[in-house]
Structure 1
């Protein structure tokens, strides 16, 4: 018997309404994969999955990515947390982005499972990068046609609520260049591929022109707004397409506990 799901937004996402974590059959795995491919985001509210159950669902969609340094020791997940001693990006706001835009091997998808959720703030917001490009005014589309941008992450300088300053980057910086209109490597869908969190320059343009074009693109994205905002509760599980969608995080009081188990999904067949 297949899973039943209902839409979360007008452009992507579904919520599974009859999930049983103790009955993750091959049929359930295949259904999850199809929902992911067709809707780009799959939500299981109050899923209550164990580590092994979480991994089983994710591996139905694709292999676990090991491109991140912290994953190269054989780990299969990390924590986004201010609770765990090895938790990453523990506090504060995060601008819209796709994870690993600054690496040559981008992530196909991401899965987060909520272990503890703050009462106030800490929501994850989602934006459809494919819809953003499709709805873009034609004059702006022409301005970015054929252009590429650099994306960086400086572990010493990057902040989640500020654009990176290209004049203050250290030598410990990860960087990658992608077309501003990048086609999804599996579906071929054109995506607007920029981020306030990581994008520093448009290649081949003078600094002033590059800054102006990025400002105009970010201003355009601001007019679109969020497509879906998820208010986390303990036990919630989400798997989403990291390229088709961008995500952001609302600020939350640092005194509140927030912990999510994160599993990164690599490009490639499951």
Structure 2
């Protein structure tokens, strides 16, 4: 699901008021709506007014983009109750929202995130945690970057290269509910973010496996610098970890989801480790099936928010000579049991 936001320069407002007034009289659907948005942006008449919201029903079903929805608005300004309701409804239904063409300060991003919960503070790694490196500390706004200063010190966290599927803060008693990632500097190729649907993963589970996993708990952990699989031999006292339900009901949509990720899920509780690992590998194959993955190609100014109880995310590699910088914050959720 994509929700796309457009901004408007102040000196463009007088150019679009008449067109916006006319546009608000009807809704358009299907590919014609997409063409209308493209023409509107490309014909030199400006962009939709931040004081107005135009609802375009663009639902189209494909393998990689099951549903699309666009809401034209500006998220640097305070949101009225109706606009916020529409955004939350779309988020609950579609789980990943894209606001394109934004120009956000840290305060703008923090304010928008705060509509969805308390903006989460950084939880420092435990003493003895491996793979941390010398990334700078941060408070509630994490700079995700591979840039270095003049002395070769990282200016951000998470560095360069691929990161496999995971979900933010699943290893805490209150997993972070939503994440907000904003594109600042984007490489010319690669550095994409993949989103896998945990609703679709649950729906693909055989009935007997759903029964077997009903009520089961999985140990979720954190490991810095991990490849595609967390080290299941890590001492738990060296890493953040928490038991979580392996199947959950999303509090926003009421839908069932599979809550496992190869970078986080260590073992299924009360199960022999070899049996647990074999079953988890089976679940990872379902969760990482390309048929249920949307791969986002970033542009500068993109703001993406997603539901961590409904989506796993990963990133692809990019050329070593190019830089990539994004800014992320999250909001706190509630305990899952």
TM-score, normalisation: structure 1:
0.85
- CA distance in 2 between counterparts of 1:218 and 1:241 reads 19
Asked if 1:4 is matched to 2:4, the reply is: no
Ranges in structure 2 where 5+ consecutive residues have no aligned partner: 1-51, 126-136, 149-153
Relative contact order (C-alpha < 8 Å, sep 6+): which is higher?
A: 1
Residue 210 of structure 2 aligns to a residue whose secondary structure is helix
Partner of 2:40: none
- Pick the aligned partner of 2:140 from 71, 76, 80: 76
Give the 5 Å matches for 1:208-227: 208-223=274-289, 225-227=291-293
- CA distance in 1 between counterparts of 2:312 and 2:70 reads 18
Which structure carries more strand by proportion? 1
- Pick the aligned partner of 1:189 from 255, 267, 271: 255
- Deviations along 1:48-97, one digit per CA (max 9) or x if unpaired, are 22223222222222221126239xx9933111111264412121111112
Partner of 1:249: 315
Residue 275 of structure 2 aligns to a residue whose secondary structure is helix
Q: CA RMSD in A?
A: 2.6
Deviation, structure 1 residue 144:
2.0
Larger radius of gyration: 2
Verify the 8 A CA contact 2:122 2:138 in the aligned structure 1.
Answer: no
Deviation, structure 1 residue 200:
1.2
Partner of 1:145: 214
- CA distance in 2 between counterparts of 1:56 and 1:13 reads 25
Deviation, structure 1 residue 138:
1.7
Give the 5 Å matches for 1:74-223: 75-83=139-147, 85-155=154-224, 158-159=225-226, 161-169=227-235, 171-223=237-289
Verify the 8 A CA contact 2:204 2:286 in the aligned structure 1.
Answer: no
Runs of 4+ aligned structure 1 residues displaced above 6 Å come to none
- CA distance in 1 between counterparts of 2:280 and 2:204 reads 17
Task: Name the CA shift for 1:7/1:76 in 2 (closer, same or farther; >3 Å).
Answer: farther
- Deviations along 1:27-56, one digit per CA (max 9) or x if unpaired, are 544443333233222211121222232222
Task: Name the CA shift for 1:223/1:112 in 2 (closer, same or farther; >3 Å).
Answer: closer
